[in-house]
Structures are given as C-alpha cells and as structure tokens.
Amino acid sequence: MALLLAIESSCDETAVAIVRGSAGRTAEVLASEVSSQIELHREHGGVVPELASRNHSLRLRGLVGKALADTGVAMREIDAFAATSGPGLASSLLIGSTAAKGMACAMNRPFLAINHLEGHLLSPFLDRTSVPPHIALIVSGGHTLLLDVEGSGRYRRLGGTRDDAAGEAFDKVGKMLGLAYPGGPEIEKAARGGNPKAYDFPRSMLGDAHLDFSFSGLKTAVLYTLQRAEGMVCVTDLAASFQQAVIDILVGKTLRAARQTGRSMIGLSGGVSLNRALRDAFHDACGKSGHEFVTAAPDFCTDNAAMIAFAALLRHLAGECSPLGEDIHPNLPLV
C-alpha cells in the first residue's frame, strides 16, 4: 500500500492531498486541502500571477502540515511526493514543484511531475481501481480538450479549442454582463429560470466533420447582442441562451467522438464540469444514446491536489518517477 503526497499550484488555488492505494485496489483520498484565492483576485477581474505565487508561498506550508496532522501520517511514511509541472502559470508552478522536490530530497523518496490536464482527465475515476477505455472531455478556464483514452497514460487527442476555451468564454461573457469574477459560476446562477431559446446564438463548428471547438464567435455574438440592445437585455435569458449554446457544442462534439471511436463510456472533467446544467445535459444525452457517463465528484472538479496525487499514484505503482532536475512546463501539452 503506497502513500503519496501531492501539491497543486498551477494557478490561483493552493492545494495539498494525501492518497493511499495499491495495485488492484481503489485509491483512498485521506486528505484534500484547498485554499482558494478567488477573493484576492476578484477586485482585479482575473488572476494576477505575482499575487498568486506570493500567496502560494504563504499558504503551502500550513496546508501540508494540516494534511499530515488530520490524517495522522508522518512525513517519513510518505512513499512518494508529486506536484503539478504544467500547464499553468510559471511563477505558481515553481512554488509547488520546488516544495515537493524539497520534501522528496529530505525524505529520500521519489518525485513525480504530473500534468495538470492528466489530473483532471483521471479525476472521474478516483473511486475506481483502474481507468477504463473512454472518451474524455476536459473543460476548464484554459482548456477544452477531447481525447480517446485507452487507459492510464495512453491518450490520443481528437480535438481541442482553436481559440477561447469554454471556461474562458464563460468568464468573458460574465464580464460583459457585469457579473462578478469568476464568470462561469455567476452565469450558471443567472441562467436559472431563464429561457435558453430567447437568443439564437451560433453553435460554432457543431456541424463540421472535425472534432475541434471554437467559442470566440459565440462570445462575439453575445457582445453584438449587447451592443444592439444598448445594454437593455434580460440577463437571465441571455445567460441561459449562452450557456445552452456552449452545452450543445460540448455535448454534440463529444457524442460524435464516442460514435466514431465506438467507445461506450464518456468522462467529463475540469472546472466547467461543475456546471449542473452541463452535467445534466450529458447525463440525459448519454442515457438516450446508451453511453455510460462518468464525472468527478464536485470537490474534485475544480483544481485540487487529490487528482494530482491519484495520477501520481498510478504512475508510482507502474514504477515510474521523474528526475529532480526536471523543470516546470507552463505550456505543457497532454498529448
């Protein structure tokens, strides 16, 4: 039975987790601590890298101590240490990566550098013993990525965003509507009770044969709608219509990928997967098409270290480790 401690600090959330597991057994999340910086960045309307990295430095040691104390695990009992190596903000990634490497050196244990996107991809399977073949859709503030997954570590890219990520579009439209940062959760709240057919927004590339995404045109359509109406719009209806357009694109493209590859399972992950309307739409669509639908528990949708620890656990059990000299990679691709 292996114990892993992981750190996630790719953007503006400082997170530490301890996970226990062994081959053929379900992994157990013993601790998952997350310190959000949303309130710090809200007044700026977005993440300020210098502010984010400074607060990672201030909060990380306390989170590690709390995770160890709450689980009753001593540092010497940890079998391996892991951290997000990319993609993300360079100044933020350095904090977590350096700390995990330092602990690995001090305890003479292996270090594992983990791709943030792989953490998201694997998060729906935290309560399983393995990662089955499936179509994976990762939707977050910085990424919209569609993958054919054969198993852990075996991924094939099917499509991705050509411009704005879905979460980025949510945030930008939220800002247009005068909603608080981050815009995604605020648009979801505003959309409740709204008419999703009130505004006929485009479903970009939905009818195209390829599996790429584009959300910049949809964002521009919202902007033009606001300009023509000179701000006199029903925010609830506009938010619902915009949200439904995004959902139609994501669900439509993902179901097409499943049909083309013959996969019987669809996995949804990333911060945007916390959107209740999106989860419900996938559940309904998969119910009609006969596909099994899996997604992460709400606590593991947004950035967290449990998903990084789980990805590291699978690699550790496979006998893998990373050199301590490995650098961070702010633009690290998954495949």
The pLDDT of residue 230: 82
The pLDDT of residue 23: 81
Q: How far apart are CA 184 and CA 196, in angstroms?
A: 16
Q: Which residues contact 46 (CB under 8 A, 6 or more apart)?
A: 171, 181
Q: How far apart are CA 114 and CA 41, in angstroms?
A: 26
Helix or strand or coil: residue 188? helix
Q: Give me the architecture of the 2-125+300-317 domain, per CATH.
A: 2-Layer Sandwich (3.30)
Tell me the backbone φ, ψ of residue 29, rounded to 5 degrees.
-85, 110
Interval 20-79: pLDDT, tens: 998 877 889 999 999 998 888 888 888 999 999 999 999 999 999 999 999 999 999 999
Residue 202's DSSP bridge partners are none
Interval 157-174: pLDDT, tens: 999 999 999 999 999 999
Q: DSSP secondary structure string, 31-60?
A: EEEEEE-HHHHHTTTS--HHHHHHHHHHHH
Domain residue extents for the chain: 2-125+300-317, 134-296
Q: How far apart are CA 301 and CA 271, in angstroms?
A: 5
Locus of tokens 């390829």: 210
Interval 260-287: pLDDT, tens: 999 999 999 999 999 999 999 999 999 9
Instruction: Report, as an integer, the average pLDDT of 213-240.
Output: 93
Over pLDDT 90: what percentage of the chain?
A: 90
Q: How far apart are CA 203 and CA 184, in angstroms?
A: 18
The pLDDT of residue 44: 85
Over pLDDT 70: what percentage of the chain?
A: 100
Residue 295's DSSP bridge partners are 268
Instruction: Report, as an integer, the average pLDDT of 143-150.
Output: 97
Rg of the chain on CA atoms, in Å: 20
Instruction: Report, as an integer, the average pLDDT of 104-110.
Output: 98
Question: Distances in Å between the alpha carbon of 188 and those of 101, 174, 272, 311?
Answer: 39, 10, 10, 30
Instruction: Report, as an integer, the average pLDDT of 220-242.
Output: 93
Are 116 and 84 a contacting pair, CB within 8 Å?
yes
What mean pLDDT value characterizes the chain? Answer: 95
Helix or strand or coil: residue 111? strand
The pLDDT of residue 217: 94
The pLDDT of residue 38: 84
pLDDT band at 140 (very low <50, low <70, confident <90, very high): very high
Q: How far apart are CA 43 and CA 180, in angstroms?
A: 9
Are 275 and 140 a contacting pair, CB within 8 Å?
no
Q: How far apart are CA 212 and CA 146, in angstroms?
A: 8
Question: Distances in Å between the alpha carbon of 92 and those of 27, 52, 53, 141, 308?
Answer: 27, 7, 5, 16, 15
Instruction: Report, as an integer, the average pLDDT of 96-122.
Output: 98
Interval 172-192: pLDDT, tens: 999 999 999 899 999 999 999
Q: Which of 132, 76, 138, 148 is nearest to 106 (CA)?
A: 76
Are 48 and 11 a contacting pair, CB within 8 Å?
no
Please say if the pLDDT value at position 240 is more than 90: yes
CA–CA–CA angle 64, 121, 119 (5° rounding): 20
Question: Which helix (DSSP H) or strand (DSSP E) does residue 9 occupy?
Answer: none
Please say if the pLDDT value at position 324 is more than 80: yes
Domains 2-125+300-317 and 134-296 share a fold: yes
Query: pTM of the predicted model, to two decimals?
Result: 0.95
Q: Has domain 134-296 been given CATH number 1.10.3210.10? A: no
Are 170 and 186 a contacting pair, CB within 8 Å?
no
Helix or strand or coil: residue 297? coil
The pLDDT of residue 130: 85
The pLDDT of residue 26: 82
Q: Which of 7-21, 122-136, 294-308 has the lowest mean pLDDT?
A: 122-136
Please say if the pLDDT value at position 113 is more than 90: yes
Q: How far apart are CA 271 and CA 184, in angstroms?
A: 9
